[in-house]
Structure 1
């Protein structure tokens, strides 16, 4: 008898909220600042687009899992499914999927023609509203057409993120290939 127990997939997205940031806010009750909220409000996950990746040939099975979880499929590619949905369905899908090898969140789309375009666009993105020096991140990239070398694109993106932090006078996040927060 074969045991078809679902493996626990390693998720590529781990969001951690550090409450130590509260000390940076005023005690004045007239200033209603919430350190855990920003324009990037992760408490409303159905407003984001997600990508569930899977091995080649399994996207049909992954599609079935996404639909069974009550999530809306936006598009598909050979490597997975792009989807949206309510927080409860998203949580159930993440905890129960046996096909998805990773779940990632799409924060921004850019049209770039060359590595300098990628750097310039990324330099304008408010990464400091999402990350801080206590976080770690890993950058994975896949390129098409205008950007031929994915490693070079990865380095350009990392440079832009770090330069953005430095231009704001802040320490950038750490890079972690093994267990990143983001």
Structure 2
């Protein structure tokens, strides 16, 4: 039996997510702004949750229709057979998102949806589920346009970018699914040299390491679908075992990271260790302008500290030319990728990007600048 799903993701990565869904045999894939709708059975949904590096949530659509008032949404929610999807002793949380929604208060709509779910349980057995804001067993999402509603059960639970092992970070961490998408956009091939010279807490390094050893991003976490009554534990164990058997040996695979901040280096090493990937990548302390490339060519991907980790924007205007000079002298033959909210960065570096990809780090509008360093030009003369 097939179900209707919607997978959310960071804006700008929808096409990559569609490719992932296709690889897991999803059907009727439709790309929209901020996500991708698709059809599939339970196995498809389990596989997408486990394997998607790009998705934020996988939501199962349980209701849709038109409305003119809060009461319409209450009645539509009440009609749905919530007791068939989860048990009354499980906690719930309702979240409502609206785009051009004419209703006065989304908070009130949230309350009415919660009331409808609880009232449906009371009709069935005189008990009602409790609400948990922080860690609910079941998450219910509603999406409202100017006259249409859609109701979803969240099959993921915690957002999928929470891989289940990072417990320490430094300032302004990059979400894991955005980092994975950037690595994919770079065209990096696992097994070839990969470098993040401003690695912070190591997000790019961990995502690259997982790709290199073919580790599913969801291997070390749990999911919302495991708390639904439809959960098929036998099928899930089969999918998990299949994924584990396809993993490659944990060994060094030409992944390098560095940071001028010793605390960031320690945090990155710690996070790699917690992820079980400390042998796959090497991390060292170094200022970017003093860092020698680990190979004659490779892929450099980084999220520069645009004012948040090394100072104010004025300080960056001074350091950009030094980065560019060092890249010209030492990184000929490398393809470099910079994610930044500073849209003037290439201009200040006096380097011309070969590609500019709009992306969003949360609500922050960014660009992924591709700058290909030509081998043999502007190199230091050898002694």
TM surpasses 0.5: yes
SS of the aligned residue for 1:95 comes to helix
1:151 aligned partner? 107
Match for residue 89 of structure 2 among 134, 138, 141: 134
Q: Are residues 1:83 and 2:38 paired?
A: yes
Q: Is the 8 A contact 1:62 1:99 kept in 2?
A: yes
**Counterpart for residue 130 of structure 2:** 174
- Whether contact under 8 Å (2:28, 2:39) holds in the other structure is yes
Displacement after TM superposition at 1:50 (Å): 1.2
CA shift for structure 1 position 47: 1.9
Work out the CA distance in 2 between the residues paired with 1:79 and 1:114: 26
Give unpaired runs (5+ residues) of structure 2: 139-383
Describe the superposition over 1:87-126 as per-residue Cα deviations: whole angstroms up to 9, x where unpaired: 4333222111111111111111132111111112222222
Shift of 1:149: 3.3
Task: Give me the whole-angstrom Cα distance separating, in 2, the residues matched to 1:160 and 1:86.
Answer: 27
In structure 1, the residue matched to 2:68 is: 113
- The 2-side partners of 1:87 and 1:130 are apart by 13
Aligned Cα root-mean-square deviation (Å): 2.0
Query: Greater CA deviation, 46-55 or 126-135?
Result: 126-135
Counterpart for residue 120 of structure 2: 164
Asked which structure has the greater CA Rg, the reply is 2
Residue 76 of structure 1 deviates from its aligned partner by 2.8
Aligned residues: 137
Higher relative contact order (CA 8 A, sep 6+): 1
Could you say which residue in structure 2 is the equivalent of 1:100? 55
Counterpart contact for 2:15–2:31, Cα < 8 Å: no
| C-alpha spacing 1:61/1:112, structure 2 compared with 1 (3 Å) | same
TM-score, structure 1 as length reference: 0.66
Cα distance change of structure 1 residues 89 and 116 upon mapping to structure 2, 3 Å threshold: closer
**Cα deviation digits, residues 12-67 of structure 1 (max 9, x gap):** xxxxxxxxxxxxxxxxxxxxxxxxxxxxxxxxxx4211111111111121111111
The offset of 1:85, in angstroms, is 2.1
What's the counterpart of residue 23 of structure 2? 68
Distance in structure 1 (CA, Å) of the matches to 2:43 and 2:77: 31
Deviations 1:116-175 (A, max 9, x none): 111122222222222332112221211243435322221110111122223344211121
State the Cα distance separating 1:74 from its structure 2 match: 4.0
The range that moved more, 85-94 or 149-158, is 85-94
Q: TM-score, normalised by structure 2?
A: 0.33
Partners of 1:136 and 1:173 within 8 A in 2: yes
**Does the 8 Å contact 1:143/1:149 carry over to 2?**
no
C-alpha distance in 2 between matches for 1:152 and 1:75: 31
Q: Is the 8 A contact 2:88 2:121 kept in 1?
A: no
Secondary structure at 1:81's aligned position in 2?
Answer: strand
